Amino acid sequence: MVLSTESTVSFAVNGETFVTSYKLFGNLTESSLPPLIAVHGGPGLKNELQPVIIYDQLGNGNQPSFFTVKLYIDELENLISKLGIKGYHLLGHSWGGALCSELEVQKHPSGLKSIILTNSLAEMRLADQSMGERIATLDNLEEAFRKSVEALHGRYVMKYIQEQPLPDDLATFDWVWGNEEKGIKGDKTVTVKMIESKTWSITDRIHLIRVPSYASEPFFWGLKNVKWVNMEKSSHLPFWEEREKYMVIVGKWLQGVNFQE
């Protein structure tokens, strides 16, 4: 059984102190392998060997409601620094992949060994256009809109997930719209602000990524040291829809990068 530890680190923003919650699988001091830091999507959607670190970005649950790319880069760097991590890999899903790529392009952190971008976007305009074509016909009334968006996600985001009702780990809309039965109030602020950031793009800076990368289009066409895998029985959540295959692929990638060093 892998040892897991839950804790927090402090994070200062404009003179105010917040906390970043994280969960560590494994032991940072006893392992000779650099840890894998998982950067979740959303944002605003709450999350739940080789050390693995999972953390909740600010703006989730009862966290402060704001959104800037710089804020989340600072928070991730703060977490890495507070945990005393010198070398590490990053795995970013959806928005988390955008955050990982921005960190690399802007900072070129010396400790970063590789990045894994799972179902991530390279330009908000293209992502918005794709979803907008499907959302445009939905009802604007909030309750009807929520049901329609959940149906949309069932078709395009969680296409191969059979469990009904959805497990709590996948009931991400509860943290946006709330759920009275579960006692969750919900907060759309961070998610809305992220969606409104329509000018964000990294397409013209992809070539600045210098670490080995596991990515999807258009990252694949803009990088030299890159690998692209298409999982045919997954939609947006391959780590859930094809969990065993996904874990094997990521594990082999990490072994390969570590071996090259």
**In the structure encoding, which two tokens stand for residue 17, read together?**
């102190």
Quick check: 72 pLDDT over 50? yes
Q: Are 202 and 189 in contact (CB under 8 A)?
A: no
pLDDT at 66: 58
Section 139-167 average pLDDT: 67
Cross-strand partners of 90: 37, 115
pLDDT at 65 over 60: no
Of the candidates 173, 256, 259, the residue with the CA atom closest to the CA atom of residue 213 = 256
**66-70, 119-123, 217-221: segment of lowest average pLDDT:** 66-70
- The total number of residues shown for the chain amounts to 261
Count CB atoms within 10 A of the CB of residue 259: 7
The CA distances from residue 113 to 88, 144, 248, in Å, are 6, 45, 19
30 three-state secondary structure: coil
Query: To 10 degrees, what angle do helices 95-107 and 69-82 make?
Result: 80
The model's confidence at residue 211, banded by pLDDT at 50, 70 and 90, is very high
What is the reported pLDDT for 89?
A: 95
List helix spans (H) across the chain: 69-82, 95-107, 124-135, 142-156, 174-177, 189-196, 219-222, 238-241, 243-260
Please tell me the predicted confidence (pLDDT) of residue 139: 62
Per-residue pLDDT of 1-49, as tens digits, reads: 567 889 999 999 888 899 899 999 888 888 888 999 999 876 554 443 5
Averaged pLDDT, 75-93: 94
Whether the per-residue pLDDT at 102 is higher than 90: the answer is yes
Per-residue pLDDT, 82: 95
Q: How confident is the model at residue 261 (pLDDT cuts 50, 70, 90)?
A: low
Q: Give the residue-averaged pLDDT of 141-160.
A: 66
CATH of range 4-123+201-255; options 3.40.50.1820, 3.30.450.40, 3.40.50.1860, 3.40.50.970: 3.40.50.1820
Q: Are strands 213-214 and 226-227 parallel, antiparallel or unpaired?
A: parallel
When pLDDT is averaged across residues 159-174 and rounded to a whole number, the result is 69
Question: Residue 112 contacts by C-beta under 8 Å, 6 or more apart in sequence?
Answer: 88, 89, 90, 103, 104, 211
